Structures are given as C-alpha cells and as structure tokens.
C-alpha cells in the first residue's frame, strides 16, 4: 500500500531552506519517492487549521517512507531543514 509523507513547513530562513530544497530531491528519488505537492498555493476551504508550505511525497509503502526519513543520506538534511524552518511531518498510508 502506498504511503505519503505529508509536511507542513514554516520557512524561517529562506537562504538555508533553499539549500535544503536543492539537495533533498536526489535523496527522495533514491528511495523511490515521488513528489505530488511541493509548496504550491494553499487555500483553506473549511475548518480552522492553517497550513503553510505543504509537501506531499509518495513512496511505495510505509517501510520505504521510513527508510528514506531515517536514512543516513537524509539525516544531515534534517539538521539543515531544522535550522531553516519549523515543520510538522506525517506518514500516512493511502491508495
């Protein structure tokens, strides 16, 4: 079953985040990830939640998503991302 990494990102350092944004696609691809959403416009249609920069990445399954997220290749990028943003990240199983 496919699994989706869903992130809501508040960028606090544009320059630092841009460096992260340039480096992460190669790691995502190496783990079979495919971007569906990468920071497009967000419009709330109902409810009170406020989303910021939304990212949705599809992986083959939750095991592959976790292999990416906890990988040695991604670990230094997490530190880079954390310095340049605040983020909520979820793994969700789907179709």
What mean pLDDT, rounded, does the chain reach?
Answer: 96
Q: Which residues pair with 8 in a beta bridge?
A: 54, 88
CA distance 46 to 65: 29
Indicate if the pLDDT at residue 95 is higher than 90: no
pLDDT for the residue 83: 97
Range of the domain at 63: 3-40+50-93
Reported as a single tens digit per residue, the pLDDT across 45-67 is 999 999 999 999 999 999 999 99
- Contacting residues for 66 by C-beta, under 8 A, at least 6 apart: 91
CATH at 75 = 3.30.70.100
Question: For the chain, what percent of residues have pLDDT higher than 90?
Answer: 96
Question: For the chain, what percent of residues have pLDDT higher than 70?
Answer: 100
Does residue 45 form part of some domain?
no
Does residue 58 form part of some domain?
yes
Joined together, the tokens standing for residue 38 give 């990468």
């Amino acid at each position: 079953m496919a699994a989706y990494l869903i992130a809501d990102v508040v960028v606090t350092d544009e320059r630092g985040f841009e460096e992260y944004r340039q480096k992460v696609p190669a790691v995502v691809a190496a783990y079979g990830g495919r971007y569906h959403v990468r920071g497009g416009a967000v419009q709330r249609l109902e409810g009170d939640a406020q989303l910021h920069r939304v990212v949705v990445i599809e992986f083959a399954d939750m095991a592959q998503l976790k292999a990416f997220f906890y990988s040695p290749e991604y670990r230094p990028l997490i530190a880079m991302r954390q310095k340049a943003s605040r983020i909520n990240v979820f793994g969700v199983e789907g179709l």
